[in-house]
Homo-oligomer: A and B are copies of this chain.
Amino acid sequence: MTYCVGLLLDDGIVMLSDSRTNAGVDSISTFGKMHAWQKDGDRALVLTTAGNLSLSQSVVTLLKDGFADEDGKACDLMQATSMFEAAGMVGAAIREVARRDGEGLKEQGVEPNLSMLLGGQIGNRPHELYLLYYAGNFIKATEDTPFLQIGEIKYGKPILDRVITPATPLVQAAKCALVSMDSTLRSNISVGLPLDLAILPKGALKFALKKRITDQEPYFASIRGLWGEGLRKVFQTIPDPDWGV
């Protein structure tokens, strides 16, 4: 399983992913699920993946090497002129891999699944965040829904629902993503460290931070302790019901 979250803020984009891959509980591995494309001052894009690892690795390889879509058009994220066009290229890569491997998986009784988050900014176009599905179609985060999640999304959603608005500053959004990840790690063993975190300020066309967070990272360790402790404290401060029990 996987948990990835992307946040689209007035100030830029924050992306966070875990790195656990499992094929059954006795086959657990670490594979980074975050991939970046950057040319300083021109563009910065970041892609995170959930679902079948063989499918997502193939999609990323197509995108890194370049490929031709269904219409024979060359696809290269470093040449896309907008995030919308970039999302279209990722969708085309997903369909190409689905065409090649999807039926074979189904024949083996494995339902192919794949979803991706793509965030970034190209030139003077707006910074955008997309969620792509296995059919290669995609949706875009908006002011009304400033975050998108893939994988094991439920444990970490309540804190995002409560804290994140488009006006949330980048560092606080990163902190919120880490708290959301912590809740997921705590409740689902199939999501695991290390994490990959990327922060892309609006207009910078360059990541302000791309960081791998291991269990040795003191800030994340402190969040885990402070958040758990804080939750228990808030819980204690809520008065008990006066129901005569």
Q: Which A residues fall within an 8 A CB radius of B? A: 154-155, 157-159, 161-163, 170-172, 174-176, 179, 183, 186-187, 199, 201, 208-209, 211, 219, 222-223, 226-228, 230-235, 237-245
Q: A171-B243, A174-B241, A179-B235 are in contact. List 20 more A-B contacts (CB 8 A).
A: A154-B187, A155-B157, A159-B235, A162-B186, A162-B228, A163-B232, A170-B245, A171-B240, A175-B238, A199-B245, A201-B245, A208-B245, A209-B243, A211-B243, A230-B234, A230-B235, A230-B237, A231-B231, A231-B234, A233-B234
In the bound complex, residues from chain B placing their C-beta under 8 Å from that of A172 are 240
State the main secondary structure of chain A at its contact with B: helix
How near does chain B come to A71, taking the closest CB pair, in angstroms?
Answer: 36
Interface pair A245/B171, CB less than 8 Å apart: yes
In the bound complex, residues from chain B placing their C-beta under 8 Å from that of A234 are 226-227, 230-231, 233-234
Task: State how many copies of this chain the complex holds.
Answer: 2
Q: In chain B, what residue has the closest Cβ to A219?
A: B241
How near does chain B come to A121, taking the closest CB pair, in angstroms?
Answer: 16
Interface pair A235/B163, CB less than 8 Å apart: yes
Q: In chain B, what residue has the closest Cβ to A176?
A: B235
A-B contact pairs, 22 of them (CB 8 A): A155-B155, A155-B158, A157-B187, A158-B158, A161-B187, A162-B231, A162-B232, A171-B245, A172-B240, A174-B241, A175-B235, A179-B238, A201-B245, A208-B245, A209-B243, A209-B244, A219-B242, A226-B234, A226-B237, A230-B235, A230-B238, A231-B234
Q: In chain B, what residue has the closest Cβ to A184?
A: B158
In the bound complex, residues from chain B placing their C-beta under 8 Å from that of A235 are 159, 163, 175-176, 179, 230
In the bound complex, residues from chain B placing their C-beta under 8 Å from that of A183 are 158
Cα of A239 to Cα of B219 in the assembled complex, Å: 9
How near does chain B come to A47, taking the closest CB pair, in angstroms?
Answer: 21
Interface pair B186/A161, CB less than 8 Å apart: yes
